[in-house]
Amino acid sequence: MLSMLALTKVENERQRNTLNLIASENYPSPAVLALLGSQWSNKYGEGYPGKRYYAGNQYTDILETQVQNLALQVFDKTGEYGSNVQVLSGSNANMMVYLAMLEYGDTVMSVSIPNGGHLSHLSAVSNWNKFFKKVHYDVREIKPNTFEIDEDDFVQKLIEHQPKLVIIGFSAYPRGYHFEKLIRLAHKHGALVLADIAHINGLVAAELHDTPFLAGDAGADFVTMTTHKTMRGPRGALLFFKKTYEQIINKTIFPGTSGGPHFHQIAATGRALEEILGVETYPGDVSFVDYSKAVIVNTKSLENGLAAAGIEIISPTQTHLCLIKLPDTIDSLEMQKMLECQGVITNRNTIPFDPKSAWRPSGLRLGMAALTSRGISTEQSFELGTRIGVAIIKGDDMSLYAHELAANLKWYY
């Protein structure tokens, strides 16, 4: 049996020597990782800044307040939002909103997993279905293989089901989308709005995607996000809320459901926010905006390479991820395993109105946030897409190519 340090070493080598195309993963800076293992991990501090149940929290108070302010500086231009940095994950952040704002039997409206939603949005297998009713609004095919939010269905479901909470957010939706119209419609019909921007928050921070942080009735009541995808921070989350809901959200988190904050995670998130703002820099000194622009360009280039090899594209990308449909004769689980054996890390994924199971769905989801952090070029992204496409269709072995490309990309650890 390997020791923890030895196991960590081989995992480091696995990451370095493979091509990571998982859209929900990235490589935070060495400074972010160092903070995760810092002395902040030693401190316990139940409560909030200025009101802790333990002594010795004078610096954690400064830390937490500072990270709250950094988060608002990055995302909120309205001055109408507050932030909580104690939530531990994106799903956990969503749950805090459910517990704070919903009563037993209330209806939640979201997109289903096959159409791009997330497990935590009251999916078919969610335990929250024991307490709340769910209804899903659909996407529609606006042209062959291009699916976007069905606004007519969105309105019809609002009228028919009168949901208490509407979730606008996705985990496998390659298209850009606009928040204001959907938020206003939900508010018009008496619903609260939770915008889950876990995947696109880095693009929102770089002003390359529309934002749900809007003034008045145009803005989401709550915004949740993870910090480790396009934001390129540690594994963690942030929860924002219109200030009207500050007390109920904070009380739901502590003492309602949680104990001591994870200050090492909060500090690492703060460093990632500083890198977004340019106060600190990620290795290579590329600004966060330029990095985010490269993510979008590289994702489109990867997709173009896949298409050139004959792969069927679902909803041509406008973001950091693309979605492909595998030939019907190919088992997506076996294809994912085959690509992994050849050094390409992907995840199988449902496509809109997928007739297959979530375990063996029809597609693969591919993202370029991680490889862009390693310095992959647009030309390399296109060739990578072509090589993957040929491997899928013809069964070509791309092990040598993947190993050589990985060896030539940057590695900061």
Domains identified in the chain, total number? 2
The reply to whether 220 and 157 lie within a common domain is: yes
**DSSP-derived secondary structure for 128-191:** GGGTSEEEEEPEEEEETTEEEE-HHHHHHHHHHH--SEEEEE-SS--S---HHHHHHHHHHTT-
Choose the final residue of a domain: 243, 258, 277: 277
Distance of alpha carbon 256 from alpha carbon 253, whole angstroms = 5
Catalytic amino acids?
44, 46, 196, 226, 229, 235
* Closest to 369 measured CA to CA, from 300, 317, 292, 302: 292
The reply to whether 355 and 265 lie within a common domain is: no
Helices (H) and strands (E) in the chain, counts: 14, 17
pTM of the model: 0.97
As beta bridge partners, residue 130 has: none
Choose the final residue of a domain: 277, 293, 311: 277
pLDDT of residue 316: 98
CATH number, domain of 401, equals 3.90.1150.10
Distance of alpha carbon 349 from alpha carbon 174, whole angstroms = 12
Which tokens hold the place of 412?
A: 């900061």
Per the domain annotation, does 165 fall within a domain? yes
CATH number, domain of 89, equals 3.40.640.10
Residue type, 321: L
pLDDT of residue 159: 98
Let me know how long the chain is: 413
In the DSSP assignment, the letter for residue 50 is T
pLDDT of residue 205: 98
In the DSSP assignment, the letter for residue 374 is T
For 115-150, how does the pLDDT look when each residue is reduced to its tens digit (9 = 90+)?
Answer: 888 888 888 888 988 999 999 999 999 999 999 999
The reply to whether 383 and 398 lie within a common domain is: yes
Choose the final residue of a domain: 240, 255, 277: 277
Q: What is the pLDDT along the chain (413 residues), one digit of tens a residue?
A: 999 999 999 999 999 999 999 999 999 999 999 999 999 999 999 999 999 999 999 999 999 999 999 999 999 999 999 999 999 999 999 999 999 999 999 999 999 888 888 888 888 888 988 999 999 999 999 999 999 999 999 999 999 999 999 999 998 999 999 999 999 999 999 999 999 999 999 999 999 999 999 999 999 999 999 999 999 999 999 999 999 999 999 999 999 999 999 999 999 999 999 999 999 999 999 999 999 999 999 999 999 999 999 999 999 999 999 999 999 999 999 999 999 999 999 999 999 999 999 999 999 999 999 999 999 999 999 999 999 999 999 999 999 999 999 999 999 99
pLDDT of residue 58: 97
* Closest to 121 measured CA to CA, from 172, 76, 74: 172
Per the domain annotation, does 413 fall within a domain? no
The reply to whether 307 and 366 lie within a common domain is: yes
* Closest to 139 measured CA to CA, from 130, 131, 126, 148: 148
Distance of alpha carbon 378 from alpha carbon 49, whole angstroms = 45
Residues 6 or more apart whose CB falls under 8 angstroms from that of 203 comprise 209, 230, 292, 295, 296, 319, 320
Per the domain annotation, does 159 fall within a domain? yes
* Closest to 210 measured CA to CA, from 159, 173, 163: 173
Are 326 and 335 in contact, with CB atoms under 8 Å apart?
yes
Distance of alpha carbon 411 from alpha carbon 284, whole angstroms = 11
As beta bridge partners, residue 133 has: 107
Question: ∠62-66-68 over CA atoms, to 5°?
Answer: 125
For 19-46, how does the pLDDT look when each residue is reduced to its tens digit (9 = 90+)?
Answer: 999 999 999 999 999 999 999 999 999 9
The reply to whether 310 and 343 lie within a common domain is: yes
Q: In this structure, is the dihedral angle defined by the CA atoms of residues 398, 401, 404 and 408, taken in order, positive or negative?
A: negative
Three-state SS annotation for 231-298: CCCCCCEEEEEEHHHHHHHHHHHCCCCCCCCCHHHHHHHHHHHHHHHCCCCCCCCCCHHHHHHHHHHH
pLDDT of residue 124: 81
Per the domain annotation, does 175 fall within a domain? yes
The reply to whether 198 and 299 lie within a common domain is: no
pLDDT of residue 121: 86
Please give the residue range of the domain that contains residue 201.
31-277
Q: In this structure, is the dihedral angle defined by the CA atoms of residues 17, 19, 24 and 25, taken in order, positive or negative?
A: positive
The reply to whether 52 and 8 lie within a common domain is: no
pLDDT of residue 113: 82
The reply to whether 20 and 42 lie within a common domain is: no
The reply to whether 202 and 314 lie within a common domain is: no
